[in-house]
Structure 1
Amino acid sequence: MIKTFEEARLLVQTLQVCTIYDSAKTELPSLWEYVDLPEKQEGEKGWGAKVSAVWDWKNRLPAEFPDEIFYGKVKGGFAVLMSMDYLRDVHFQSAYKPIDQLNPLSAHIFEKIRVEPWDTTSLRNEMIQEYGCSKSQFDTALKNLQISMNVVRSNDPGIERDTWLTFQEQYSEIWNSHVSED
């Protein structure tokens, strides 16, 4: 059981990959199940120590240790933390799908992100107006871009909103070792 940010860092390295929150829909271990902090008590304001810690760590771990820990989505749409070694050696090659294998909305969103980084809200609003998709369609397409290893959340600790970059831009070494440009 863990209580600190540093212990969370070591846990991700040990597990290699874990979801953020517990779910019966996956066999992956979760960061949540290993955290030994109190949950919100009745009458307490805010989220409680456990939720606050897990929410903070999911962003801070890849921001403070970008060469060690990756944040992304895996099949089923689960948010995960994984070691960079696992990402490089195992996960990327099994999860990557070229853009032309995704739906047209995903390809359109990818093109926007390829040109420049976008935060989720601005990109969603732009796509709803420009492409005529629903919020749900947009969210699914963005999730599929993450699962297929085409876009990732920026690790820049100075950015407060989820901001999207191409996987190739943020992790060029991994990209170049697995994807050949035709």
Structure 2
Amino acid sequence: MKPKHPAKIKTFEQAYQFVLQAKTCLIFGSKCSDLPSLWDVVDLPGRQPGQKGWGRKVEAVWAWKNELPAQFPDEIFYGKLPGGLAALMCLEHLRRVHYPAHHRPVSQCSPLARRAYELIRSEPHTTAELRRALSPSGAVSKSKVDSALVELQVTLNITRSNAPNLKRDTWLPFAEQYPDIGGGE
């Protein structure tokens, strides 16, 4: 449920507390969901006229979606919800509620998602590396590869690496990063 009086978050620490309290929150709001969003509660200025870049609010939310799970890997998870909505979630909620309700075996995923998973299972890959490997001739569109990656995230078969120094999304098997939750297949 979206809060009636949303918090006014200005700091990383406040964002951390918000995610733990919400249990699950979207990164950006969506008309398709009643979940609270980090975007809606962050109280930082947007891009000002004449200012370069995105503005402090977008920069903070975009950075925190990666930094929170990187700095608190045993407490916060970043992933995709059904419908492909990006979310942050406390690990206890992931373990007890979300994973049992939403995990599907790779064998039930699309053929392209299964191919992507096999590449990721052999070694971590960035999104760009997967696009090249899955379509060396360019025959498979970028959007189809991206959809396969979303499918694997939603079904909790892959996850973004929490390694703090990564600049690009790097994908791992979910069970490798969360062995106590995903157990492997």
Tell me the equivalent position of 2:59: 52
Cα distance in 1 for residues equivalent to 2:70 and 2:47: 26
- Corresponding residue SS for 1:129: coil
Does residue 1:105 correspond to 2:112, yes or no? yes
Structure (1/2) with the larger helix percentage: 1
Does residue 1:160 correspond to 2:183, yes or no? no
Cα distance in 1 for residues equivalent to 2:18 and 2:36: 11
Cα distance, 1:132 vs structure 2: 3.8
Cα distance in 2 for residues equivalent to 1:104 and 1:56: 32
Identity over aligned pairs, percent:
51
For each residue in 1:123-174, what CA deviation from the matched residue of structure 2 results, as whole angstroms up to 9, or x when unmatched?
1111111794211110100000000000000000121110000001000001
73, 76, 81: which one aligns with 1:66: 73
Cα distance in 2 for residues equivalent to 1:29 and 1:134: 33
Cα distance, 1:36 vs structure 2: 0.7
Count of aligned pairs between the two proteins: 178
Tell me the equivalent position of 2:3: none
Structure 1 range deviating more: 66-75 or 39-48: 39-48
Cα distance in 1 for residues equivalent to 2:13 and 2:71: 11
Cα distance in 2 for residues equivalent to 1:63 and 1:147: 20
Cα distance in 1 for residues equivalent to 2:127 and 2:136: 14
For each residue in 1:63-108, what CA deviation from the matched residue of structure 2 results, as whole angstroms up to 9, or x when unmatched?
0000010000000100000000110010001110001111111101
Tell me the equivalent position of 2:145: 138
Q: Partner amino acid for 2:31?
A: A
Cα distance in 1 for residues equivalent to 2:12 and 2:160: 20
Tell me the equivalent position of 1:83: 90
Cα distance in 2 for residues equivalent to 1:24 and 1:33: 12
What TM-score does the superposition give when structure 1 sets the normalisation length? 0.94
Does residue 1:33 correspond to 2:17, yes or no? no
Does residue 1:121 correspond to 2:124, yes or no? no
Unaligned ranges ≥5, structure 1: none
Does residue 1:21 correspond to 2:28, yes or no? yes
Cα distance in 2 for residues equivalent to 1:150 and 1:175: 8
Cα distance in 2 for residues equivalent to 1:103 and 1:54: 31
Cα distance in 1 for residues equivalent to 2:53 and 2:138: 37
Output the aligned Cα RMSD: 1.3
